[in-house]
Structures are given as structure tokens and as C-alpha cells.
Amino acid sequence: MARGRAPQYDEQRALILNQAARLFAQQGFMATSMNQVADACGLSKAALYHYFRDKYALAALIAETHVRQLLDVVMQVQAECTDPQRLLGVLIERFVREYASAQDAHRVLTEDVRFLGDEDRQRILDVERDVVSRFAQAVRVLRPQAGERELDKPLAMLLFGMINWLFTWFHPGRGLSYEQLAPMVADLFLHGMLDMRLPAQAPCASASPLEPTP
């Protein structure tokens, strides 16, 4: 009869992922070794390999788990928000708050996906595109002309340009928290977008700046 997993297996696996994400975020994927991950988890290297075959597997799972969690947040907000006019603002606030507890994983997603193989990277980017598409849909509700001129996705990407790199400069506890920052980000983007003049011409169809960049 096959042996079942120990009760602590999932907890230990989650700890490893958290510690690996922290190390990748602090010193980079290439500079982090499995020995360092094992030490951070209080495990032997042999015990660590019982859970993950290498640091590539760690980075791939951290990035994919995080981006799928972001998609889950979008889908949850879409299901809960009954007012389409409020949807984009709620999405922005929820994303900023989500980043508060996932800064290390988000840094792995934005900086380390480039080290993954084509198949793994493509799978993660496909989820990112789904997230961007749902934000672009919310943009179109508030600014239909943007959708007509194919500017809904560029606007969504400009928004992600605002919030994706919060971890590089924002340090909560220094006079401002993520809870306070979230509505500020939403107000900044929404009020600026609603009053913004649109370009006279649509983007060139042959050149797309819309690829989510890790």
C-alpha cells in the first residue's frame, strides 16, 4: 500500500515556497541556491529535494500560484461588484491590498519569469493576459471611446505600470499603509483617466505594446 503524505507536508511545502520567494526577491533567482533555501527553512538539502527537485521548480510554482491568485481576485470582484461603474475602482483597490501580502511572490513574477522555459513562461503569461483583458473590459465600461479606439488595453497596462512596481519603493509603516494607499491609487488613475484627452488616431495595428512583461 502506498504511503500517504505526512500531515505537515502541505505546511512545510508552503513554508519552503515563502522562504524561497523571500530569497529570490532579496537577492535574485540566479544568486539563490538550494542550500540557502534549505537553511532558511531549517531543512537539510536532502529533505528540501523531497519537496522540490530544484530552484526552477520553486520559481515556476511561486510565479504561477501568484498570478492565478490575482486572476482569482479579479473573478471574485467581478462576481461581487453589482455596479459596473464601480468595478474598476474596486479592482484597483483589491489589487493594491493583495500586493501587501504578496510582495515577494510579485517580485518573482515580475523579475524571474524570464528564467523559465518557454512552456512554463507562456502558461503564466496567458494568465497575465487574462487579468489584463478583464481590467481592459472594466476600462471600456467607464470610457467606451477608449475601447472604440483600441486604447482600453494600453490604459490597463498604464495602470499596471503604476501598481506592479510598488514593492520597489513603497514601504508600509512609514506614515502610509497599503489600506490607505489603495484608494489613493484608484482615485489617481480614475480621475486622471476620465479627464484625459484621447489621441486623435488609434494605435498602429501592426505594433502591439500590450504584452504583459515579466
- Domain residue limits, the chain: 55-195
Question: Residue with C-alpha cell 502591439?
Answer: 208
**Residue 172's pLDDT is what?**
77
Residue type, 171: H
**CB 187 within 8 Å of CB 92:** no
CA nearest 167: which of 76, 98, 72? 98
Residue type, 181: L
pLDDT in tens, the chain (214 residues): 445 566 688 999 999 999 999 999 999 999 999 999 999 999 999 999 999 999 999 999 999 999 999 999 999 999 999 999 999 999 999 999 999 889 999 999 999 999 999 999 999 999 999 999 999 999 999 999 998 999 999 999 999 998 988 888 888 777 788 888 899 899 989 987 776 666 765 544 444 334 444 3
**CB 127 within 8 Å of CB 108:** no
Residue type, 199: P
Check: CATH 1.10.357.10 for 55-195? yes
